[in-house]
Amino acid sequence: MSWETFDDETEGALRDAPPDVLSPINENAPVSGHQAPTSTEALQARAVEHDWEAAADHVYPVLRPAGTQGTKLAEIDSEQLAQEGLKKHALPLIDPGPADLAVAYVLREVAYDILVNADHLLAWGVDAAKLRETAMANLAAWSAHAPWTDELSGSRRLLSSDTGEGSDAARILLEDVRQHLAGECGGPARVLIAVPDRDLLVAGSLNPDDGDFATQFATFVADVADDAHEPIDRGLFELVGDGLDLVRFTPGADAA
């Protein structure tokens, strides 16, 4: 930009009559130099950060990589909550997740997610238990209608969730989802699980006579994680035991 830019601007028109103060207001007229909002999205985004009633339907749990830094939700008390809320850049609130992963909480909007921190709890006036309960209930309600993609090749079976709505990987936190995956992919086979990206949960059947599958599956998962916008883990897990616990996959080890 140069001074000539300003010199070349068209001179503003002068009024030749007083404004008609009784004429209808133009709803599309600029306000303070800006166009008036045409939707309630911006107002809603501000509301959910300050009002629990507005936020409750937008709160979800998300899986995060091992070692994710944050404020431990289980250990926070009212004094620490207030101190965290005063920080300029408050850390996200996190819980321990399955295996060595972490669980964080987000406010889900149409185009983006906002990580929940101590500021939000202070503004909402809710405790940790309420945040967890609400987030998991929202995830369960969404998951009940989210589709699965089923691929079968001989004795090999892959079941995946890849809706792209931000909650696919987090579905592994739900007991009914783990039961579903075990029922579809288990039996004589071990059930391998991968969460390379927040938008992908994959379960595969590892049959006793198919040693190559784990290697091929691991390579695929690592490639997806390396290219992921929000990667979680490039390794494999499996469901073991009566509780269908998620544990790190150890090739050659017997399932519990």
Give the residue, 16 or 30, on which the prediction is more confident.
16
Rounded to the nearest angstrom, the gap between the alpha carbon of residue 214 and the centroid of all alpha carbons in its chain is: 27
Tokens of 40: 């309630």
pLDDT of residue 112: 85
Tell me the whole-structure pTM to 2 decimals.
0.79
Nearest to 172 by CA among 117, 128, 129, 233: 233
Task: Round to whole Å and give the CA distance between 73 and 180.
Answer: 29
Residue 11, pLDDT above cutoff 90: no
Residue 118, pLDDT above cutoff 50: yes
For range 126-132, the mean pLDDT: 94
pLDDT of residue 146: 97
For range 158-182, the mean pLDDT: 97
Residues 6+ apart with CB under 8 A from 239: 178, 181, 182, 186, 191, 193, 245, 246
Nearest to 124 by CA among 65, 191, 77, 56: 56
* DSSP alpha helix (H) spans, the chain: 3-7, 41-48, 52-55, 78-86, 118-124, 128-143, 175-185, 211-227
For range 49-54, the mean pLDDT: 91
Strand partners, 149: 160
For range 146-159, the mean pLDDT: 91
Q: What is the pLDDT of residues 195-248, one digit of tens each?
A: 999 999 999 999 998 989 999 999 999 999 999 999 999 999 999 999 999 999
For range 87-112, the mean pLDDT: 90
Strand, coil or helix: 246: strand
Contact call for residues 105 and 68 (beta carbons, < 8 A) = no
User: Between 128-143 and 175-185, two packed helices, what is the crossing angle to 10 degrees?
Assistant: 40
For range 169-179, the mean pLDDT: 98
Share of the chain above pLDDT 70, in %: 75
